[in-house]
A and B are shown apart, each in its own frame.
Chain A
Amino acid sequence: EAQVTQNPRYLITVTGKKLTVTCSQNMNHEYMSWYRQDPGLGLRQIYYSMNVEVTDKGDVPEGYKVSRKEKRNFPLILESPSPNQTSLYFCASSPLTSGSEETQYFGPGTRLLVL
């Protein structure tokens, strides 16, 4: 089954304790992206990657890191989480086909609480 998986689905942590949220897709997609969803703000893009070893900042990259060492994986790293990073996080992937109507496939989300 074609899908985007995220782990963990729920996470409670404390300020300053490094954490990683994993994202994996089995569709051989070039493009992957991370978003956070907050009430009243919708989804905001954190980072995206056009291919292996190619990453770039989205709208709200501060406090986050990503890496793309393999095509299927795109982990989101919070080196020193703070309470304002409490949010619902979504990973997404897409084939890079210019001009097509292909779109992003989203994972189920990771709910993070930073105390």
Chain B
Amino acid sequence: DQQVKQNSPSLSVQEGRISILNCDYTNSMFDYFLWYKKYPAEGPTFLISISSIKDKNEDGRFTVFLNKSAKHLSLHIVPSQPGDSAVYFCAASLGYNFNKFYFGSGTKLNVKP
């Protein structure tokens, strides 16, 4: 059974509006969370991360929110741009020392001009 779940396979948003991508996890021992972006025919690239001691981390247009009690994290992109169209994966790790990682199934974001 997947320990990290992204229940929305796809999301369509108008350019300039906010994109909200969601991710749920089941293992309360996860202590580090990451978001990756993936374009077709390329490997995933790191976007933003958050440790379990924080509830928010911001980097430019990207903000990740972590709700530990709900075992839920979300990625907000504001404002969304057509170049943000990609598949987004959330991932969780059991330790800062980077050993085992668990990925969600991905959400395909389409930002319409």
Contacts and interface: CB of A to CB of B under 8 A. Distances in A.
A42 B26 CA distance: 16
Given A31-B98, A90-B43, A96-B97, A101 B49 contact: yes
B20 to A, nearest CB: 19
Interface string B44-59: 1110010000000000
A48 B46 CA distance: 18
Nearest to B57: A101
Nearest to A56: B99
A76 interface: no
B105 A106 contact: no
- The secondary-structure label for the interface of chain B is loop
B105 A48 contact: no
For A33, A59, A101, A107, the residue with the greatest tally of chain B CB atoms inside 10 Å of its CB is A101
A87 B83 CA distance: 27
B43 A59 contact: no
A4 interface: yes
Interface residues of A, number: 30
A54 B98 CA distance: 14
A31 B101 CA distance: 12
A98 B96 contact: yes
A50 B96 CA distance: 13
B70 interface: no
Nearest to B44: A106
A48 B42 contact: no
Given A90-B44, A109-B43, A42 B104 contact: yes
A50 B98 CA distance: 8
Interface string B23-57: 00000000000101000011111100100000000
A41 B103 CA distance: 8
Interface of A: 4, 31, 33, 35, 40-45, 48, 50, 56, 58-59, 90, 92, 94, 96, 98-101, 103-109
29 contacts: A31-B98, A35-B103, A40-B105, A42-B4, A42-B104, A43-B89, A44-B103, A45-B100, A45-B102, A48-B99, A48-B100, A50-B97, A50-B99, A58-B100, A59-B100, A59-B102, A90-B43, A90-B44, A96-B97, A99-B96, A103-B34, A103-B49, A106-B44, A106-B45, A107-B43, A108-B42, A108-B43, A109-B42, A109-B43
